[in-house]
Amino acid sequence: MDLSWNEEQLSLREAIIRFAQKELNNDMIARDAESRFTRELWVRCAQVGLHGLPLPEEYGGQGADPLTTIMALESLGYGCSDNGLIFSINAHMWSAQMPLLRFGTEEQKKRYLPGMCDGSIIGVQGMTEPGSGSDAFGLKTTAERRGDTYILNGTKTFITNAPVADVFVIFALTEPKAGALGISAFLVEAQTPGLQIGKPFSKMGLRTSPMSELFFDGCVVPAENMLGKAGNGMAIFNHSIDWERGFILAGAVGTMQRQLETVIEHAKTREQFGQPIGKFQAVSHRIVEMKLRLEASRWFLYQVGWAKLQKEGANTPTESAIAKLYISEAWVQSSLDTLQILGGYGYMTETEVEREIRDALASRIYSGTSDIQRNIIARRIGL
């Protein structure tokens, strides 16, 4: 696996870090406290090409390969402390853009992808329901064919970006008796009659990433808005969730790099009992563990990008599940270690460590819980 970056990639990395540090961190404590999503920041990220990283240039994207995309998102996580914004960008890219790119008609791609790249359209997927979470295909939302339309009825919950989204990729049963094989996907615009977007949830972390429910009550969707073929929903979801699991924590690896640099500097300059605290084994060993977790996380992350590159974007379920599982657990522990090393300072809101702990905890739940990732890996190794 060749992980040497060329000059163009290194320049991109430095440009993203400079942009993020300058443009995306202002007023972060207040934005978190107010659960404030800022459309202006969303558009700024689009203007530097972040939203369109993996998409072809013909649709307004950057045409970046999987490894370059990972490197760019890792750089974003290093420079940007707004994990909610990063999370919303990932949800937009992997759950809306990628299924559109893979399964959309040419007309659908041209209608939505350029706007998704330039920041004028926010997209996301609607799969999770009140009665189905880890059992993703146990959904109850239905889509009944009536002439040249489908009538959607049901409820979706925990939908990232929902309060600000312009278009949703919605999964619904078109053949209820067929179970998972009867699921289809639809492109539903936010202003569609019969769709009601719920009030934003108040969350523990990732507060700058808005989330709410979706209610479908006789929602009329043109048949031409079906994404892919009828009954192809399971394949569409598996395709998008594979990209999501493999890439969504690239930013967390950048965050862990920033955390490591912070605690090293603190351990060198903070003195107790007449010497820097980094001289105490309890501190130095904790920092070494943070370094090990960082390097292992980076390896698993890059392994996903390399596998996607070799397989020309095909699904990589084992690599994606391993990366999602390991990085999520590593991010939580490294955030806790950062607080422990900084001591009382780390517990204060102004150091922003407590927020990163709250943000990191969610990573063990979204895109499939850590236990679900273990189940996937177990099956892939024949257990």
Q: Provide the β-strand partners of residue 152.
A: 143, 219
| Helix, strand and coil percent figures for the chain, each rounded to 5 | 55, 15, 30
Query: What tokens were used for 33?
Result: 């406290």
Q: How far apart are CA 215 and CA 196, in angstroms?
A: 5
Place of tokens 């969350």: 203
Residue 244 annotated in active site: yes
Q: Are 318 and 380 in contact (CB under 8 A)?
A: yes
For helices 317-342 and 353-362, what crossing angle results, to 10°? 160
For residue 208, CA distances in Å to 36, 53, 328 come to: 5, 22, 19
Q: Are 356 and 338 in contact (CB under 8 A)?
A: yes
Q: How far apart are CA 74 and CA 13, in angstroms?
A: 9
CA-based nearest residue to 258, from 94, 29, 83 = 83
Reduce the DSSP state of residue 78 to 3 states and report it: helix
Options 74, 129, 213, 244, the catalytic residue:
244
Q: How many residues does the chain have?
A: 383
Residue 14 makes CB contacts below 8 A (sequence gap 6+) with: 75
Give one word for 165, left, alpha or beta, with left for phi > 0 and alpha for psi -120 to 50.
beta
Give one word for 81, left, alpha or beta, with left for phi > 0 and alpha for psi -120 to 50.
alpha
Q: Give the catalytic positions in this structure.
A: 244
